[in-house]
Structure 1
Amino acid sequence: MYDKKSNMVPLKRRKLVSSHIGNTGTDCSGPEVPNKFPQVVLFLLERKMGASRRAFLSRLGQSKGFQVEEKFSRSVSHVISENNCGDEVRTWLDSQVGGQTPVHLLDISWYTESMRAGCPVEILDRHKLQEQRTDEAEVAAFSAPSYACQRRTTLVDRNTVLTDALSLLAENAELSEEDGRGVAFRRAAAVLKALPEAVTDMTQLRGLPCLGEHSLRVIKDILANGASSEVESMKQSERYKALKVLTGIFGVGAKTADRWIKAGIRNLQQLQDSGQTLNRTQRAGLEHYDDLGQPVMKAEANAIGQIVEEAVGSVLPGARVTLIGGFRRGKLTGHDVDFLITHPEEGREVGLMPKVVSWLESQGFLLYQKTTRNSYLEAKDGPARPSSNMDRFERCLSIFKLTKEEKGGRKQPETLTEDCTESVRAPDPDPRVQILRGERGTHEGGLEVDQTKPAGRKPWRAVRVDLVVSPISQFAFALLGWTGSKLFERELRRWAAHEKTMSLSSHALYDNKQKRYLRATSEEEIFAHLGLEYIPPSERNA
């Protein structure tokens, strides 16, 4: 078989690759011959072998009359591997087709001996890859549905070391604008997070969905060594540190951060000294960087909720305010606080947001705000949605000024003294001291910031708050879409499209076969339309 790619390999490299075959004593430059051994279908595993060597060995086999497949399938009878143990190869196979496969797992020595003989040689014990036999009574295999929206995922994660590593790889991929890889890692992490017990052996993962070769390699490394060398190396890279610092600025995305890094900017001080032009959002994000980088605690979310309810009630009596996002799923901390606002009477919500914003500004609660109008019209837009799935509700992205009095004086929530177990810092003996402190110090990524201001004396902190207004007819879809998690919502939309031929967004559900909208007044009805078992918010933490 003529391989166009072979002409692209420099002569020196071709000679080097050929030397890898060792003492086979065979020249594969001749024409391909017909398949002489139809009962033998070979697949060469590229893992640890390398693409160039695999291509050379494949051509060699074909020149000898062997059928060598480019892609793995169930028709393969012999898998050839180099420098991999049997468990590694078996795990890789399970990730491709799932379950047991009727193949021989063979070392490269069988292949080279067969090439020398010009026919398949007898398979001896020394040719077979050794697989560790695990007593199934000792290690139970796990099972899980393919879609995250079919799984119940609580906040209890029994595989934190594994899921944290995969999530970091996902984050790094997303910061590098490799969204496909990011989603793959997040799906793998979501499967592990939903498992009822900790993973202790790779054999437990056989047949699980969404675990690709890269994710399995990371998991195996952690189980064997306690940590992933790839993840640890990534965390220490200067680019990753710089991306974390710069995208930590409210209003700065991966593209902007990458442009700054290429200009030699690695931290906030360099950004300030660079003379870069910042928009209004980025200037606010830089000004309140310290506060916005700290986790928002449930007590603070409750306090802000009381303020928002007072504002909404003052301008439109009867309107409803619902805390959404991670806090609705039961989380004790978050990066920001989100609220969904509606009115039981359709149309009464029109014009509400400017009045709420005006009230909040008059009371001194807003350090920054940007309001966008509702741009969704069902009759005009239909079920179509932007690729990012950003909805088009009337929305206010803001930074709240939460004062000491508001946190502690307005019907102070009893949860203010809760031990916030998800905080990124160890809590002070009294959490109220922690949330009022407003400390300045060294940030993740090695960023040094001003430490001259006295700690523990700032009477307020800045908190990111999103306000969203929805018509009551779309409220159930908005509530579902804004509750999250992000991956859970992505999987809901994927299920709707691939399994039900429907289009789901935070505005509506459209049946593409029946060419009509499916109405719903509750999340339960939406799940029923999709043919899914209802999963409460507390179990959507994929």
Structure 2
Amino acid sequence: MPLPMDPLQMVHSGPRKKRPRQMGTSMVSPPHDIKFQDLVLYILEKKMGTTRRAFLMELARRKGFRVENELSDSITHIVAENNSGSEVLEWLQVQNIKASSQLELLDVSWLIESMGAGKPVEMTGKHQLVRRDYSASPNPELQKTPPLAVKKISQYACQRRTTLNNCNHIFTDAFEVLAENYEFRENEVFCLAFMRAASVLKSLPFTIISMKDTEGIPCLGDKVKCVIEEIIEDGESSEVKAVLNDERYQSFKLFTSVFGVGLKTSEKWFRMGFRTLSKIKSDKTLKFTPMQKAGFLYYEDLVSCVTRAEAEAVGVLVKEAVWAFLPDAFVTMTGGFRRGKKIGHDVDFLITSPGSTDEDEEQLLPKVINLWERKLHHQRVDSGKCSQQDGKTWKAIRVDLVMCPYERRAFALLGWTGSRQFERDLRRYATHERKMMLDNHALYDKTKKIFLKAESEEEIFAHLGLDYLEPWERNA
């Protein structure tokens, strides 16, 4: 399936080839709707270069900004790259243009952030090349802002706030395809490399539009940067294109979409020459596990997305069943839905009870499943022939139920909320930076040789010396 292409992130497409150098900046381009009438931008070519300037002009126009080819009195914002405020003012003097109090001199970071947001963002000190008050004097003393401070980006997802607002889909989608392909080939090193790269780009508040934008960003190795550069130049990655067309990748992607089928089974089926699910299901020599049988039986339901409304409806059924046996139990939806996602592929629930015994915890899930099986049996008996005539009126959804002791609920809640990469980095951080061991059950301090207690997720973050991140900030 082809990767989605956002016009903000892609101008060129097609096969990689050497392009002729553009002469001049007055390029003819199709008209774009202007959304922000009060802003008139001029992008300075000085220190930027002709090609990058033309590239940024086209991107900005596609996002609804009015960008002029030539300098005039109507310009309200001048955008520059690698220029100080005094350098831009000197350039304006050479052009015989007076810098009025209404003219904003801005670093290109403002334009990049604005394009990523789809609207002009607030101009702050980090964006403004000069701070000035022209009303005070005809020859004001111009105060330059400090050099643009590049905030250090952590290599750990647990030190980055990652919302669902991903400004770099065109790159992260590509990385996830490559990571999945390496996972299918059991190459853990490259799989993790691309997963970490995707994770860090998801946390960025701006869109990467040049290789210069990648400077200082961790987890971007040479192999990753090659993919980024090709996407910037061509709008797509030839490596991703090859993977999506690869028979082995397509087969593994299809086989693992069946509930209960992992890499070993996929490898076995691929080596046996299978390429379609219909051939696998009809083969009499194959034996399937109970999970795989369910996976084939309800395949269309299980591969379709679960909506938040469906997840909440399942939550009502889960709570009703759990409270029939443990009336004081807490039932919390975890996973992607707790992180703010609107759709998912399954629903996870954490169950804990302050008054439960070890025996209660061991017996709860079998009791709940038995209750549902009895209800399902009665429904089938009651419906009789009508169900056969009317067809299936329900949807199969994968539900994960997790029971944990009440005193360990904070660790279980943190572990089951995700995302997967966030949890990996959180544990990696605990091990390498704090000399601690963290899992879904406990936090152990190897230096003090004690288990650290926690009543909430906030306390676990505090033990690790981390700023607390809300669940919706953990979409790494």
TM-score range, shorter chain: 0.5 to 0.7
Amino acid at match of 1:509: L
User: Secondary structure, in 3 states, of the residue corresponding to 2:398?
Assistant: strand
Structure 2 residue 351 is matched with structure 1 residue 341: yes
* 1:27-66 paired onto structure 2 within 5 Å: none
Once the two structures are superposed, what CA deviation does each residue of 1:214-249 show, in whole Å capped at 9, x if it has no partner? Answer: 111111111111111110111011111101110111
User: What's the counterpart of residue 183 of structure 2?
Assistant: 174
Deviation at 1:207, TM superposition (A): 1.4
- Aligned equivalents of 2:329 and 2:195: distance in 1? 37
Amino acid at match of 2:301: D
User: What's the counterpart of residue 494 of structure 1?
Assistant: 428
- Aligned equivalents of 2:356 and 2:412: distance in 1? 15
Deviation at 1:353, TM superposition (A): 1.5
Deviation at 1:290, TM superposition (A): 1.0
Seen in structure 2, the aligned counterparts of structure 1 residues 310 and 346 have a Cα distance that, compared at 3 Å, is closer
Amino acid at match of 2:108: E
Deviation at 1:366, TM superposition (A): 12
Q: What is the aligned counterpart of 1:516 among 428, 433, 450? A: 450
* 1:59-98 paired onto structure 2 within 5 Å: none
Structure 2 residue 138 is matched with structure 1 residue 138: no
Deviation at 1:365, TM superposition (A): 8.9
* 1:246-325 paired onto structure 2 within 5 Å: 246-274=255-283, 275-325=285-335
User: Secondary structure, in 3 states, of the residue corresponding to 2:361?
Assistant: coil
Amino acid at match of 2:82: D
Deviation at 1:492, TM superposition (A): 0.4
Once the two structures are superposed, what CA deviation does each residue of 1:366-406 show, in whole Å capped at 9, x if it has no partner? Answer: 99xxxxxxxxxxxxxxxxxxxxxxxxxxxxxxxxx9xxxxx
Deviation at 1:457, TM superposition (A): 6.0
- Aligned equivalents of 1:336 and 1:503: distance in 2? 28
User: Secondary structure, in 3 states, of the residue corresponding to 1:463?
Assistant: coil
- Aligned equivalents of 2:452 and 2:263: distance in 1? 37
* 1:175-194 paired onto structure 2 within 5 Å: 175-194=184-203
Contact 2:258 2:296 survives alignment (8 Å):
yes
Once the two structures are superposed, what CA deviation does each residue of 1:138-168 show, in whole Å capped at 9, x if it has no partner? Answer: 2586741111100000011011111100011
Q: Which moves more between the two structures, 275-284 or 195-204? A: 275-284
User: What's the counterpart of residue 411 of structure 2?
Assistant: 477
Q: What is the aligned counterpart of 2:225 among 210, 216, 232? A: 216
Q: List runs of 5+ in structure 1 lacking aligned partners.
A: 1-132, 368-400, 402-452
- Aligned equivalents of 1:283 and 1:158: distance in 2? 40
RMSD (Å), alpha carbons:
2.3
Amino acid at match of 1:356: V
Once the two structures are superposed, what CA deviation does each residue of 1:490-522 show, in whole Å capped at 9, x if it has no partner? Answer: 000000000011100000000111111001010
TM-score (norm 1): 0.58
Once the two structures are superposed, what CA deviation does each residue of 1:106-146 show, in whole Å capped at 9, x if it has no partner? Answer: xxxxxxxxxxxxxxxxxxxxxxxxxxx96363258674111
Amino acid at match of 2:266: A
* 1:422-437 paired onto structure 2 within 5 Å: none
Q: List runs of 5+ in structure 2 lacking aligned partners.
A: 1-79, 84-106, 113-149, 381-387
TM-score (norm 2): 0.65
User: Secondary structure, in 3 states, of the residue corresponding to 1:466?
Assistant: strand
- Aligned equivalents of 2:304 and 2:398: distance in 1? 11
User: Secondary structure, in 3 states, of the residue corresponding to 1:200?
Assistant: coil
Seen in structure 2, the aligned counterparts of structure 1 residues 271 and 207 have a Cα distance that, compared at 3 Å, is same
Seen in structure 2, the aligned counterparts of structure 1 residues 511 and 145 have a Cα distance that, compared at 3 Å, is same
Deviation at 1:335, TM superposition (A): 0.9
User: What's the counterpart of residue 363 of structure 1?
Assistant: 375
Q: What is the aligned counterpart of 1:464 among 387, 398, 404? A: 398
User: Secondary structure, in 3 states, of the residue corresponding to 1:462?
Assistant: coil
Amino acid at match of 2:187: E
User: What's the counterpart of residue 103 of structure 2?
Assistant: none
User: What's the counterpart of residue 174 of structure 2?
Assistant: 165
Contact 2:328 2:355 survives alignment (8 Å):
no
User: Secondary structure, in 3 states, of the residue corresponding to 1:341?
Assistant: strand
User: Secondary structure, in 3 states, of the residue corresponding to 2:155?
Assistant: coil
Once the two structures are superposed, what CA deviation does each residue of 1:264-305 show, in whole Å capped at 9, x if it has no partner? Answer: 011102212333111111111111111111111101000000
User: What's the counterpart of residue 34 of structure 1?
Assistant: none
User: Secondary structure, in 3 states, of the residue corresponding to 2:154?
Assistant: coil
Contact 1:346 1:473 survives alignment (8 Å):
no
Seen in structure 2, the aligned counterparts of structure 1 residues 148 and 330 have a Cα distance that, compared at 3 Å, is same
Q: Which moves more between the two structures, 346-355 or 244-253? A: 346-355
Amino acid at match of 1:318: D
Contact 1:173 1:179 survives alignment (8 Å):
yes
- Aligned equivalents of 1:142 and 1:198: distance in 2? 16
Once the two structures are superposed, what CA deviation does each residue of 1:35-80 show, in whole Å capped at 9, x if it has no partner? Answer: xxxxxxxxxxxxxxxxxxxxxxxxxxxxxxxxxxxxxxxxxxxxxx
User: What's the counterpart of residue 385 of structure 1?
Assistant: none
